[in-house]
Amino acid sequence: MNDSQWRDLLRVIDGEPVDPMPVGLIIDSPWLPQWAGSSILDYFHDPDIWLRANLQAVQRFERITFLPGFWSEYGMCTEPSAFGGKCIWSENDFPAVEKMLHEYSDIDRLTKPDCRTHGLLPFVLKRLLTARRAIEQAGHQIRFAVARGPLNIASYLLGPTEVLIGLKTEPEKIHQLLTVITEFLVDWIGLQAKTVESIDGIFLLDDLIGFMGGEDFDQFAAPYLKAVFDSQDVSVRFLHNDANGVITAQRLSAMGVNLFNFSFNHSIAEMRELAGDSVVLLGNIPPRDVLAVGTPEEVRGSVVESMQGIADRRRIIISCGGGAPPGAPTENLLAMCEGADLIGAGDRGCLCDPTDKSSPT
């Protein structure tokens, strides 16, 4: 993220009107390797391919603020690997991790990992430090400490069904599990912030919270998410949950969240009513059915439609309801910019070139 994009993001969070309408997009391994012409495994293992792909994206789409920007990650294996989860790699499939807790009693043997030395975490930081000079020479900065959220990590260690059942049958064990994970996350977020002083944001991703009712959310999700967000004094506290977001949206301010990416199944108007006026909403066109496989015309129309009935455009960033989906083509990302400009910029044109249909692939 360059300085201009960062300043605009902070302006949006502060409730200032930004014209043209801001556009943002979460990009990581589901979309970026294929778009840039590499295999998923090469993207993970080769730091030069990783850097080149990220630079290619920020240079091609200057109009889009990519979040978190230069995301150093190993898919869903990143944090579970520190606990000893077995990671499974394929050339062009997303990495997977086998659960390691097979009974609730296994939680008793779980200890907090050392984020400086365990699993893939040292490689995450090493990649950032190695690439940092090139990132900054390109005019960008590393802005976010990033991690999966407590319930998300718990679902990989114990299993999603087992976690949700355990909320009712083994609540003490689930609290024990979430406490260890949260203490680890506080350390991990803190290490990232300490290592890279340009970090001024926290980005947590947790979809399992979308499967919880309000009472369970208040007991098993909100306190742990809040503890992580409160662990650093940062300007941006960004939460992604593209499962059901009704319960989450109602509790964002209480958890300290000021930027929220949510499912396309919820309209921006609905989320604004639930979340209130203090939270920036990042959305909300369908990622797969529109951004990935729709026509540019459909993308533009979906963007415009998503803002219908929204009189106050402050604290809204045009995006899709989730991260950039696999296969989303260059022309559709450009069309998302064009749709945003139809809403927010009057006679001003998109900084993207709508006549350029080229793609690196």
Domain ranges of the chain: 3-344
Confidence of residue 344 (pLDDT cuts 50, 70, 90): low
- Report whether 142 contacts 70 (CB < 8 A): yes
- Residue 357 clears pLDDT 50, i.e. is over it: no
Confidence of residue 355 (pLDDT cuts 50, 70, 90): very low
Provide the whole-model pTM: 0.94
Per-residue pLDDT, 353: 37
Mean pLDDT score across all residues of the chain: 94
pLDDT 10s digits, 90-104:
999 999 999 999 999
CA angle, 30 then 247 then 151, to 5°:
50
Per-residue pLDDT, 350: 35
Q: For residue 233, is it left (φ>0), alpha (ψ between -120 and 50) or beta?
A: beta
Q: Does domain 3-344 have CATH number 3.20.20.210?
A: yes
pLDDT 10s digits, 269-318:
999 999 999 999 999 999 999 999 999 999 999 999 999 989 999 999 99
Q: Which segments of 102-216 are extended strands (E)?
A: 144-148, 201-205
Nearest Cα to Cα of residue 250 among 224, 268, 273, 227? 273
Interhelix angle for 171-195 vs 160-169, to 10°?
130
- What secondary structure does DSSP assign to 235-291, as a single string? SEEEEEE-S--HHHHTTHHHHT--EEEE-TTS-HHHHHHHH-SSSEEEEEE-IIIII
pLDDT 10s digits, 44-85:
999 999 999 999 999 999 999 999 999 999 999 999 999 999
